[in-house]
Amino acid sequence: MKEGYTLVYKRPDTLLKTRMHYCPGCFHSILHKLIMEVVEEMGIQNDVIGVSPVGCSVFAYDYMDVDFQEAAHGRACAVATGIKRTLPNHPVFTYQGDGDLAAIGLAETMHACNRGEKFSIFFVNNAIYGMTGGQMAPTTLEGQITTTSPYGRDPKNVGYPMKMAEMVSQLPGVAYCERVCLNNPANVRKAKKSIRKCFEIQAQNLGTTFLEVVSNCPTNWRLSPIKTLDFVENNMLKYYPLGVKKDVTATEEK
Amino acid sequence: MDKKIAFMKGNEALAEAALRAGMTGYFGYPITPQTEVIEYLCKEAPKYPKFTVLQAESEVSSINMVYGAAAAGGRIMTTTSSPGFSLMQEGISYIACADIPCVIANVQRGGPGLGTIQPSQGDYFQSVKGGGHGDYKLIVFAPNSVQEVVDYTYNAFDLANKWMCPILILSDGAIGQMMEKVILPEPIPARTAEEMRDEKPWATNGKGKRTKRNIITSLNIQSDAMERRNNELQEKYRRIEGEEVRYETYKADDAEILITAYGLSSRVCKKAVDIAREQGLKIGLVRPITLWPFPTKVIDEFASKPNVKFFMDVEMNVGQMIEDVKLVVNGRKPVYFYGRTGGILATAEEILEQIKAKM
């Protein structure tokens, strides 16, 4: 660094210097970076084990320089359960999309949370199946057009978008549950604090920590990256309100 | 604790053998007729501070817990029965492709469908031919007594580590439920965290002092990488075929008629051979102990013998292993079949009658 300059930002060493496969404007890359920043700042990069899902983030292990296991579609929470039960002193996290966590893996998600498994779940909700090319997700909004809801999601036929953070927060095993978003710098900073909180509460063995990250999908929403920010603000966040849904540490402080 | 003689139920003996083998984790879901395994482990768990047992929400989940726990370096087992084994197939395919050592026991019951809780050997295809998607193999042991359940389970953990692949103990509802005298082997002390790291340098247990991260995956999205992975697996399977075949022959040397049978069926067939010999009939038994790798060589040798008239394959299904026997015999001798289903075990007399009808 040049003399006289103060370091205000650097790429975390835990984020590998590889070109990412994500589409331009996708929030995945931001979330990868935030998690790796927190891991590095907490000094847990030599202990932590990540679990990647099937979906757009299936290759998350190509970007994060920590031990990683790739799970079958929907089974990240089962795999993480196995890891954490074997290595209870290691921080463990899953990184899952809406199809993985809320559709095919709903049982694993709910039961891991209900058992209070001591790992962190980072749940990316972009209301669509990205990798397979834009099909309806459990979290697709009412009326939203996807390739399998070409006339808009009709809840009478295919059910309503699932509010996972609200559902999960009902389970006694969950120690911390929040919904964040990455649609502007202020929210990105908040999300980073919440990621750190998840790892801290995990280290205290208080229960499952669950962070729903409202995300975007420029490619399959058929919107420019900038316009996805409007869609997030005007549509996604109306149905998926941000905020802490549960925090056992806050209750303790009272 | 050291070697111990006990009178035990097959399922409980399986659980005890796994504990004595230094198992560090068990994940399973109750299903008849193997539920005693998880019940026994839950009861014994407090005696083993480094051992974790967890009742999963499904077999789909339990096999994936096994995947995670074994990838993290543990000595891990799950057990189930046929419908549960069907549910596990996807997970087993992932585990096999990712070269993860673990132990699976399938205490078979009758199918298809919800079927029956009675014993069966209906999962030969599913166990030996792959079961899940893609080209992979499991080393499959077919014990025919409670003692063999103990011995093969006890050795399975190290064998899985040796070959970096899942080991399947293919038992059935009768062996699981019956009580027999067993000699329980000496317990292996639980490994420390450091020993586990040293033993499995590939495990996803945190980078620690390693310079490179470990990645466990079964994803090889580039065509050449996937073909390379397949070739590596096949090469490993050829080596296993060269080293791990196990079988037993019984009064087979001068036999003119050879019964092929494994597991529970082979015990009844032994009695059939004894009765036949008393009647002066030269009948013998070839019993595969490993269903994969299949004892091809010994069956091939018998098929070449001029004095051998035919083979009679006996199973508790409608004819599964017979396909492998026929592949080896390759038309040189007739291969007949006799099997019962629904949990019905053929009697020795019944089998002998079937053989006499072909003479």
Q: Give yes or no for residue A2 having a pLDDT over 90.
A: no
- Residue-range definition of the domain harbouring residue A217: 48-253
Q: Is A49's Cβ below 8 Å from some Cβ in B?
A: yes
Residue A241, min C-alpha distance to chain B (Å): 30
| Chain B residues whose C-beta sits inside 8 Å of any chain A C-beta | 24-25, 27, 52, 54, 56-58, 60-62, 64-74, 76, 90-91, 94, 204-209, 213-219
State pLDDT tens for residues B12-27. Answer: 999 999 999 999 999 9
Q: Is A51's Cβ below 8 Å from some Cβ in B?
A: yes
The reply to whether B247-358 shares the fold of B4-198 is yes
In chain A, residues with a C-beta closer than 8 Å to the C-beta of B206 are: 46-49, 66-67, 87, 90
Cα B85 to Cα B140: distance, rounded to the nearest angstrom: 14
- Average pLDDT score over residue span B299-309: 98
Instruction: pLDDT band for A251, please (50, 70, 90 cuts).
Output: low
Interface test with chain B among A51, A56, A83, by most B beta carbons within 10 Å: A83
Q: Which residues contact A207 (CB under 8 A, 6 or more apart)?
A: A116, A118, A173, A174, A175, A176, A201, A248
Query: Are B57 and A107 in contact (CB < 8 Å)?
Result: yes
Residue B196, min C-alpha distance to chain A (Å): 11
In chain A, residues with a C-beta closer than 8 Å to the C-beta of B207 are: 45-47, 66-67
CA distances to B38, B122, B241, B269 from B258, rounded to whole Å, are: 39, 22, 23, 10
**pLDDT of res. A132:** 96
Question: Which sequence spans correspond to the domains of chain B?
Answer: 4-198, 247-358
Q: Which helix (H) or strand (E) holds B92?
A: helix B82-97
**pLDDT of res. B338:** 98
What residue ranges in B165-294 does DSSP mark as E strands?
166-172, 179-184, 215-216, 247-250, 257-260, 283-288, 290-292
State pLDDT tens for residues B35-44. Answer: 999 999 999 9
State pLDDT tens for residues B235-281. Answer: 999 999 999 999 999 999 999 999 999 999 999 999 999 999 999 99
Residue B313, min C-alpha distance to chain A (Å): 38
Query: Are B64 and A46 in contact (CB < 8 Å)?
Result: no
* Minimum-distance CB partner of B215 among A61, A81, A107: A61
- Average pLDDT score over residue span B113-120: 96
- The partner residues of B259 in beta bridges, in order of sequence, read B285, B312
Closest C-alpha among B2, B343, B346, B309 to residue B174: B343
* Minimum-distance CB partner of A68 among B76, B208, B215: B215
Residue A78, min C-alpha distance to chain B (Å): 5
Name the phi and psi angles at A143, rounded to 5: 80, -10
CA distances to A113, A226, A241 from A175, rounded to whole Å, are: 9, 35, 19
Strands A120-125 and B335-339: what pairing? unpaired
Query: Are B68 and A72 in contact (CB < 8 Å)?
Result: no
Q: Give yes or no for residue B289 having a pLDDT over 80.
A: yes
Q: Which residues contact B104 (CB under 8 A, 6 or more apart)?
A: B63, B66, B77, B78, B79, B80, B85, B88, B92, B138, B166, B167, B168, B169
Average pLDDT, chain A: 96
8 A C-beta contact, residue B160 and residue B103: yes
**pLDDT of res. B193:** 84
For chain A, how many structural domains are there in total?
1
In chain A, residues with a C-beta closer than 8 Å to the C-beta of B58 are: 107
**pLDDT of res. B355:** 98
- The partner residues of A211 in beta bridges, in order of sequence, read A122, A178
Name the phi and psi angles at B53, rounded to 5: -125, 135
Average pLDDT, chain B: 97
Query: Are B219 and A58 in contact (CB < 8 Å)?
Result: yes
Interface test with chain B among A45, A79, A101, by most B beta carbons within 10 Å: A79
* Minimum-distance CB partner of B61 among A47, A86, A111: A111
**pLDDT of res. B2:** 77
Assigned fold of B247-358: Rossmann fold (3.40.50)
State pLDDT tens for residues A175-202. Answer: 999 999 999 999 999 999 999 999 999 9
Under DSSP, is residue B330 helix (H, G, I), strand (E, B) or coil?
A: coil
Name the phi and psi angles at B256, rounded to 5: -100, -20
The verdict on residue A226 lying in a domain is: yes
> What is the token pair recorded at A96?
């899952």
Closest C-alpha among B232, B189, B355 to residue B285: B355
Query: Are B68 and A69 in contact (CB < 8 Å)?
Result: yes
Instruction: pLDDT band for B1, please (50, 70, 90 cuts).
Output: low
The verdict on residue A132 lying in a domain is: yes
The verdict on residue A14 lying in a domain is: no
The verdict on residue A25 lying in a domain is: no
Closest C-alpha among B126, B152, B137, B129 to residue B99: B137
- The number of beta carbons lying within 10 Å of the beta carbon of residue B163 is 19
The verdict on residue A38 lying in a domain is: no
Q: Give yes or no for residue A254 having a pLDDT over 80.
A: no
Q: Which helix (H) or strand (E) holds B93?
A: helix B82-97
For residue A43, give the chain B residue with the closest CA.
Answer: B208
Cα B203 to Cα A32: distance, rounded to the nearest angstrom: 23
Between A7 and B347, the more confident residue is B347
CA distances to A214, B250, B312, B335 from B308, rounded to whole Å, are: 72, 15, 11, 11
In chain B, residues with a C-beta closer than 8 Å to the C-beta of A85 are: 25, 52, 54, 65, 69
- The partner residues of B184 in beta bridges, in order of sequence, read B4
Cα B266 to Cα B288: distance, rounded to the nearest angstrom: 9
- The partner residues of A50 in beta bridges, in order of sequence, read A68, A93
- Average pLDDT score over residue span B109-116: 96
The verdict on residue A186 lying in a domain is: yes
Closest C-alpha among A54, A49, A73, A58 to residue A22: A58
For residue B210, give the chain A residue with the closest CA.
Answer: A46
For residue A93, give the CATH number of its domain. Answer: 3.40.50.970
* Minimum-distance CB partner of A70 among B61, B73, B217: B217
* Minimum-distance CB partner of A69 among B58, B207, B216: B216
Q: Is A79's Cβ below 8 Å from some Cβ in B?
A: yes
Query: Are B68 and A82 in contact (CB < 8 Å)?
Result: yes
- The partner residues of B103 in beta bridges, in order of sequence, read B77, B167
Cα B12–B13–B17 angle (5° rounding)? Answer: 120
Under DSSP, is residue A116 helix (H, G, I), strand (E, B) or coil?
A: coil
The verdict on residue A60 lying in a domain is: yes
Homologous superfamily of B4-198: Thiamin diphosphate (ThDP)-binding fold, Pyr/PP domains (3.40.50.970)
Q: Give yes or no for residue B87 having a pLDDT over 80.
A: yes
Cα B348 to Cα B264: distance, rounded to the nearest angstrom: 12
Q: Is A166's Cβ below 8 Å from some Cβ in B?
A: no
